[in-house]
Amino acid sequence: MSLPSEILIKMYRAMLRIRRFEEQIWEVYTGGLMHGLAHLYIGEEAVAVGVCAALRDDDFITSTHRGHGHCVAKGGNLEAMMAEVMGRVTGHCRGKGGSMHIADMSVGILGANGIVGGGFGIATGAALSAQKRGTDQVAVCFFGDGASNQGIFFEVMNFAAIWKLPVIYVCENNHYGEYTPTENVTAGKSIADRSLPFGIPSTTVDGSDAIAVYEATAAAVERARKGDGATLIECDTYRYRGHHVGDPGEGYRSKEEIESWMAKDPIQLLRTKIMDDNIASGAELDAEEREVEKEMENALEAAKAAPYPDVEEVNQHVYA
């Protein structure tokens, strides 16, 4: 199957936007322009982008502590995201949430999450709601290899299976949970296997290959919209940077390992594919990059210029 060229270009651009955003966060952090920490998604872009390219605006996602990529891919606004990470009132959450809690309900981003496994129930519940309301919306739950050991993962798969819920569980297996290698704490050959006892089909894809991720997701979305129920997709991926911006990411990971993953960089892979298939030239793709660069600069400037929320706001939004 060959994908329409506009999807490929759109995915290329989305991956660049994530990469640039995350690089910018790194500068913002090291430049002392933000408080707290952030978990960077660099290296994993093809997962968020491949999945979200197969979704509609009115579909839902739940995200993780490493959520910037998901939010960009699902239609979050770079300026509002940057402002949020910097605690400014123009942020998606008026500065109340920060990096780990970016949400934009208007485009189906039901929230990043500071609790590992925090999205399982919410995504599955969003799928239940779509079913009850009689829409054909689907919900995607992004989660890490580490999160796959939380008990609620198994609870929600059972719900999704008995009620044929339109939910897609997308595991981002980046081979570590914080500083611990996944295999040290995770039983079984693969996380994808975990849904099989529930009768939920699963597949494992190369998480550096946006096209492969897109295709797997598109098939799962079709299944879900038809009323055939849930799917689990395990994406093999890697974070180039540390667990968060304060972690150098070395010591517990070898240089060779990091370099071997960087050698199959998701953005480069798609760029090569686009150029090999004569969909766009290098010059055209470079132009995309310059545009993203400009968008990012504007977002940063706007965020920097934005004020912090008024202290009076602290009491607002506790209750509806």
Ligand X SMILES: Cc1ncc(C[n+]2csc(CCOP(=O)(O)OP(=O)(O)O)c2C)c(N)n1
* Residues lying near another protein in the complex (CB under 8 A): 35-37, 87-89, 93-101, 113-118, 146-147, 149-151, 177-180, 184-186, 252, 308-309, 311, 313-315, 318
- Separation between Cα atoms, residue 63 and residue 70, nearest integer Å: 6
Given the DSSP bridges, would you call strands 60-62 and 139-144 parallel, antiparallel or unpaired?
Answer: parallel
Q: Going by C-beta distance under 8 Å and a sequence separation of 6 or more, which residues neighbour residue 174?
A: 43, 44, 144, 145, 237, 238, 239
Whether residue 220 contacts residue 182, with contact meaning beta carbons closer than 8 Å, is answered with no
Q: Which does 151 bind (CB under 5 to 8 A by kind): another protein, Mg ion, ligand X, none?
A: another protein
Task: Select from 108-116, 162-170, 258-266, 279-287 the region that touches ligand X (CB under 6 A).
Answer: 108-116
Nearest distance in Å: CB 94, ligand X:
23
Binding partner of residue 66 among ligand X, Mg ion, another protein, none, CB cut-off 5 to 8 Å per kind: ligand X
What is the closest distance, in whole angstroms, from the C-beta atom of residue 171 to ligand X in the complex?
A: 9
Q: How far is the CB of 87 from another protein (least distance, A)?
A: 4
Q: Is 144 in the site for ligand X (CB under 6 A)?
A: yes
* Measured distance CA(119)–CA(61) in Å, rounded: 9
Q: Is 194 in the site for ligand X (CB under 6 A)?
A: no
Do residues 36 and 309 lie in contact, with contact meaning Cβ atoms separated by under 8 Å?
no
Q: How far is the CB of 282 from another protein (least distance, A)?
A: 41
Question: Using CA atoms in the order 296, 57, 61, 187, what is the torsion angle rounded to 10 degrees?
Answer: -100
Structure tokens at 97: 């949430």
Q: Which does 313 bind (CB under 5 to 8 A by kind): ligand X, another protein, Mg ion, none?
A: another protein
Measured CA to CA in angstroms, residue 14 lies from 18, 74, 189, 216, 285 at distances of: 6, 9, 32, 18, 12
Stretch that binds Mg ion, among 128-136, 174-182, 187-195, 223-231 (CB under 5 A): 174-182
**The binder of ligand X chosen from 43, 69, 146, 207 (CB under 6 A):** 146
**Of 174, 186, 202, 208, the one binding Mg ion by CB under 5 A:** 174
Does position 66 bind ligand X by CB under 6 A? yes
| Residue type for position 108 | G
Does 236 engage in binding with Mg ion (CB under 5 A)? no
**What are the DSSP E strand ranges found in the chain?**
60-62, 139-144, 167-173, 176-177, 180-181, 202-206, 231-236
- For ligand X, the binding residue among 177, 207, 266, 309 (CB under 6 A) is 177
Choices 30-38, 51-59, 140-148, 194-202; region in contact with ligand X by CB under 6 A: 140-148
Measure Cα distances from 196 to 161, 164, 179, 288 in Å: 10, 14, 29, 41
- Name which of another protein, ligand X, Mg ion, none residue 315 binds, using a CB cut-off of 5 to 8 Å depending on partner kind: another protein
Choices 24-32, 168-176, 277-285, 308-316 (CB under 5 A): range interacting with Mg ion: 168-176
Q: How far is CA 237 from the centre of its chain?
A: 12
Residue 145 interacts with Mg ion (CB under 5 A)?
yes
Q: Does 144 bind Mg ion (CB under 5 A)?
A: yes
Q: What residue 101 binds from another protein, Mg ion, ligand X, none (CB within 5 to 8 A, per partner kind)?
A: another protein
DSSP string, 219-256: HHHHHHHTT---EEEEEE---SS-SSTT----SSS-HH
Q: Alpha helix (H) ranges present in 65-166?
A: 68-73, 78-85, 119-133, 151-162
Chain-centre distance for alpha carbon 52: 8
Chain positions contacting Mg ion, by CB under 5 A: 144-146, 174, 177
Chain positions contacting ligand X, by CB under 6 A: 65-66, 114-116, 144-147, 172, 174, 176-178, 243
